[in-house]
Amino acid sequence: MKFFVDTAEVQEIRELAATGLVDGVTTNPSLIAKSGRKMAEVIAEICAITPGPVSAEVTATDYAGMLAEGRYLRDIAKNVAVKVPLTEAGLHTCRTLANEKTQVNVTLCFSANQALLAAKAGAAYVSPFVGRLDDIGQDGMAVIADIVQIYRNYPHLKTEVLVASIRHPMHLLTSAKLGAQVATLPPAVIRQLFKHPLTDRGLDAFLADWKKTGQSIL
């Protein structure tokens, strides 16, 4: 399973990329706004940190506007994946950009039917938002299961399931068990994955025993 980090904070990306765990990055206008910097500047810097796909989202809502913005964003770096919303105009844009050999991430997906449309439009990735579905009383992971099953039924569909709006490690675990190819995680959730009380307890015990020996490895 590929791990993307969901942030526009460059320092966070650098630190996590150094661990070898980052396969790509997802951003959106909200995350870019929090950085207080120009979108093109932020995207270019992130693309220089990781060779994996970096999702940069359009802000226009009409086909002509999205297409123009998408072409601008993809020219920032070779590893930009243009992110478009799952609307009729967004899927039209997806088809055009995909035909131009541009990777497209179709975002704001909330149903398996929508995901099927994204795949037919040629999306490289579709981003179902599991946390937001959970927030309104729906089962976000059930949607992931449906999408994965549908895509498996039709091997000619090459779209990868990029699970988004992940709130906690169990979202990640279930996504991996279901066979989703990618998960995009906030830095805080990635750091949660390292933690287990038995790991901490075991390390403390090993260090205490070693200290009693009075030895040093170096």
| pLDDT score for 35 | 84
Q: pLDDT tens per residue, the chain (218 residues)?
A: 999 999 999 999 999 999 999 999 999 988 899 888 899 999 999 999 999 999 999 999 999 999 999 999 999 999 999 999 999 999 999 999 999 999 999 999 999 999 999 999 999 999 999 999 999 999 999 999 999 999 999 999 999 999 999 999 999 999 999 999 999 999 999 999 999 999 999 999 999 999 999 999 99
| pLDDT score for 38 | 92
User: In a 10 Å sphere around its CB, with 0-12 CB exposed, 13-18 middle and 19+ buried, how is residue 160 labelled?
Assistant: middle
Judge whether 217 lies within some domain. Answer: no
Domain range for 74 is 2-212
Query: Which positions are annotated as active-site residues?
Result: 83
Judge whether 158 lies within some domain. Answer: yes
Which tokens in the block code for residue 156?
């000619």
User: In a 10 Å sphere around its CB, with 0-12 CB exposed, 13-18 middle and 19+ buried, how is residue 182 labelled?
Assistant: buried
Helix (H) or strand (E) holding 88: helix 88-99
The CATH number linked to 152 is 3.20.20.70
Judge whether 218 lies within some domain. Answer: no
> Cβ distance 180 to 161 under 8 Å?
yes
Three-state SS for 137-180 is CCCHHHHHHHHHHHHHHCCCCCCEEEEECCCCHHHHHHHHHHCC
Task: From 24, 26, 9, 16, select the one nearest 127 (Cα to Cα).
Answer: 26
Number of domains in the chain: 1
> Cβ distance 183 to 143 under 8 Å?
no
